[in-house]
Structures are given as C-alpha cells and as structure tokens.
C-alpha cells in the first residue's frame, strides 16, 4: 500500500523553511526520500532506517518515527535549486519500495 504525503504542493520564497510529511499504514523498515525535477529521473536524497538517527543532506534533513510509521522531510533556508517534486518511498517488506504521490515544491526568488 502506498504511503500518503502531505502537503500536495508548497510555494516558498528563497530562505523560507518547509516540512513534508509521509505516513504509512504498515510497519516500516526504512523510509527513503527523493527529489525529481521536471522531465528527469528521481534522485535519491537519503534513507532513514528503523532505529537510526535523523539524517541530513546539505540543508535538507529528515526524521523517522517508527512507532507512528511517519517520516518528515525538512527543507531549511530553501534555495532555488530545491524546486522539484519530493517523493517518499517506504520499505515494509524486504527490498520492496512503495512511493507516495509526491509533494511539488516551488521556490521563488
């Protein structure tokens, strides 16, 4: 079953922060985050493992609450290059990933 992402879209000005949420109805082993620019392939950002700590990638970080089966992606001091669609992927069975519908982030100057 696919995870649910919120919000569907967010518009930011450069320097502003945003949070994207991902929740699943199944117990999760790991959560993966990706960014996809229009017309391009998704790019893997980070993985959060069950029992692991919060991860970071430049000014993009994420957390994973195993008990609530939720993950959040934090965009801090957003830059124009952060624009794109962000997907979470959840792994509940070995090696099998399910993706959310995506959150479109638009960063304006």
Partner 1 sequence: NAGVTQTPKFQVLKTGQSMTLQCAQDMNHNSMYWYRQDPGMGLRLIYYSASEGTTDKGEVPNGYNVSRLNKREFSLRLESAAPSQTSVYFCASILFGSSYEQYFGPGTRLTVT
Establish if 4 lies at the interface with partner 1 (CB under 8 A). no
Neighbour count for residue 45 (Cβ, 10 Å): 20
d(CA 5, CA 35): 14
Min dist CB 100 to partner 1, Å, is 5
Q: Is residue 84 a contact residue for partner 1 (CB under 8 A)?
A: no
Stretch that binds partner 1, among 11-19, 41-49, 60-68, 73-81 (CB under 8 A): 41-49
Q: Determine which residue in the list 28, 42, 78, 105 makes contact with partner 1, applying CB under 8 A.
A: 42
- Contacts of 83-86 with CB under 8 Å at 24 or more apart are 83/37, 83/107, 84/35, 84/36, 84/37, 84/38, 85/35, 85/36, 85/38, 86/5, 86/20, 86/33, 86/34, 86/35, 86/36
Q: Which of 63, 79, 83, 98 binds partner 1 (CB under 8 A)?
A: 98
87 binds partner 1, rule: CB under 8 A: yes
Binding residues vs partner 1 (CB under 8 A): 2, 32, 40-44, 47, 87, 89, 94-102
């Amino acid at each position: 079953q696919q995870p649910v992402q919120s919000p569907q879209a967010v518009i930011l000005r450069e320097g502003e922060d945003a949070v994207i949420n991902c929740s699943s109805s199944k117990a999760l082993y790991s959560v993966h985050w990706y960014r996809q620019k229009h017309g391009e392939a998704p790019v893997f950002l980070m993985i959060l493992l069950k029992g692991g700590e919060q991860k970071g990638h430049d000014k993009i970080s994420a957390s994973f609450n195993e008990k609530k089966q939720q993950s959040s992606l934090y965009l801090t001091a957003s830059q124009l290059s952060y624009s794109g669609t962000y997907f979470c992927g959840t792994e509940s069975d070995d090696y099998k990933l399910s993706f959310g519908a995506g959150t479109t982030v638009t960063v304006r100057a």
